[in-house]
Structure 1
């Protein structure tokens, strides 16, 4: 199968393929999604096959406007209108209880809930409108590997496996959306993202708990990205605490390990390495935007035995960055023990 790269003037062609049941990856402000018509179970099934994704992992349904959710949602949480008015379109996924039979179990993972998002990307909103149906859109990569933040990342992983990719350059945020569960009385964050706990609490004037439990292989997650290990390159990753860089690099030299650095300029400038990926600046925003690209670049270069990654405080956007990095590293920090 030829995988075509679509530009803006070719969105109609991409929408036609989706309408016919083909798979087309699309850009969002977070990462690229692997699109299939959410109303065609056979097409959705192809998403799992192409990604190598476990079939119990539910998918996010991408809509062009809030009204598209009404065909599926059983009832809305009282906070829904305020949340949607403030955060959509944007990097926030909402989980609702759905009408029985309104979506295939292939989409929902067999659950009585489903996740919905309106991405903040004009090309993709147009693509959904022209398709005439919502699109499922898990990250457009091989399952478990770092998510794609450019069309070329998608092409690298899925060339020859999907019909096309709608190109819109690099994504702005770099990690997947926040997932907020609104199917119960207490809104709960199941996956942190760019819409932070603090931002939600400010808008809603209530405390929003964060579900930190990591789903076991035998459990069905309520939202994507809840598994213990995820976003992982083939090269092992270790998180390095701020005071441990000297010790970690000394350990690597003693054990003849070629190290790739994934770090801010301040850290990268202090240490030389055979290979490194340096974030654009010192900010957590730059680190989040570069995390998956950096993991991919260091892994694909094939010059390193191990990746040492810089950590950030786990608050605000740092919570999303660390959530992804911890899973990429299998929860492992460098330790001399």
Structure 2
């Protein structure tokens, strides 16, 4: 039975309605500075199960828990010295920390996907902050799109992908960062689990040491090999369009669409998912080719998403 999905304005009344939906065990998509998240009460096993169902998400892929502030995070995870330093420097913001979960926090085991750790972050977006404050509890919030597909950076993207599957979308406009949060495993020696909206170089400067590399297996969201994928096939490092291709340009490589004509990484990150969707809609059977993007700063996150979008699909 389809669910009626309500588009709510980012007003105090809309936030109150969204909070009430979460309190009743429903699902609400909400804006963060990175992408739209699909929120459910992280303590409600049925609500969390519905997140997996709505997304068609593999149950072994853990979810990020969003909280309003560091004090709320302390109630659900055990902080290490490195986590203290990173949270102090970068929260609220596009950084997720994976830490040992507190059993007394009452999180649904589905949130951790069977792991002893949980991914947690404090988003900076004012609408997300208003919702989390109004709700007063931890909100599990993966990206608000069908699993493996392009992440949503506008309310319309969410409606296109999840309309009829969730109760509400809180419309906060376009997400300013445009790629998901950087994920750092901080339960032990800090390791990079996923590049994202906070450049790795900035994190390493804060810690005074390089981040380690992630081991094998799924320990955080966004680590599946094929992810963020449009319907069309994707070819990377394209300097021109071949016959039967639609080219997304960057900098000096002009395309039918462009991430940033000036080579601005911030603009490219903010445009990435929206343009993948636009290209998919225009492709008409063509392959989507993407121009080279330098692999430093935000470019590392952009290239990570593009490699996953282009990966062979199971």
TM-score (norm 1): 0.87
Q: What secondary structure is seen at the aligned counterpart in 1 of 2:81?
A: coil
- 1:313 positional shift: 2.1
Q: Mapping of 1:1-337 within 5 angstroms?
A: 1-9=3-11, 10-73=14-77, 75-100=78-103, 102=105, 103-184=107-188, 186-211=189-214, 219=217, 221-241=218-238, 245-246=239-240, 249=241, 252-253=242-243, 257=244, 259-264=245-250, 266-268=252-254, 276-281=256-261, 282-330=263-311
Cα distance in 1, alignment partners of residues 97 and 296 from structure 2? 21
Contact residue 298 and residue 304 of structure 1 kept, 8 A: no
CA distance in 1, matches of 2:312, 2:252: 24
Which has the higher Rg, Structure 1 or Structure 2?
1
Report if aligned partners of 1:260, 1:304 keep a CA contact under 8 Å in 2.
no
* More divergent stretch after superposition (281-290 vs 19-28): 281-290
Count how many residue pairs are aligned between Structure 1 and Structure 2: 307
Q: Shift of the alpha carbon at 1:115?
A: 0.5
1:265 deviation in Å?
5.5
CA distance, structure 2, for counterparts of residue 56 and residue 157 of structure 1: 22
Q: Give the match's secondary structure for 1:172.
A: coil
1:116, CA displacement in angstroms? 0.4
CA-based RMSD: 1.7
Please give the alpha-carbon distance, in whole angstroms, between the structure 2 residues aligned to 1:2 and 1:237: 34
1:265 and 1:182 map into 2 onto residues whose CA distance is 35
2:135 and 2:171 mapped to 1: Cα distance? Answer: 17
Cα 1:160–1:41 shift into 2, 3 Å: same
For residues 129 and 110 of structure 1, what CA distance do their matches in structure 2 show?
28
Q: Deviations over 1:250-292 (max 9, x none)?
A: xx33xxx2x2111126322xx6xxxx32224321222211111
Q: Are the equivalent residues in 2 in contact too, given 1:146–1:232 (CA < 8 A)?
A: yes
Per-residue displacement from partner, 1:34-92 (whole Å, max 9, x unpaired)?
0001111100100000000001110000000111122222x321122221111000000
- Is contact 1:191–1:226 with CA below 8 Å preserved after alignment? yes
Cα distance change of structure 1 residues 304 and 265 upon mapping to structure 2, 3 Å threshold: farther
Select between 88-97 and 124-133 the one with higher mean Cα deviation: 124-133
Identify which range, 96-105 or 230-239, moves more after superposition.
Answer: 96-105
Q: Using a 3 Å threshold, how does the CA distance of structure 1 residues 196 and 302 change in structure 2: closer, same or farther? A: closer
Counterpart contact for 1:100–1:112, Cα < 8 Å: no
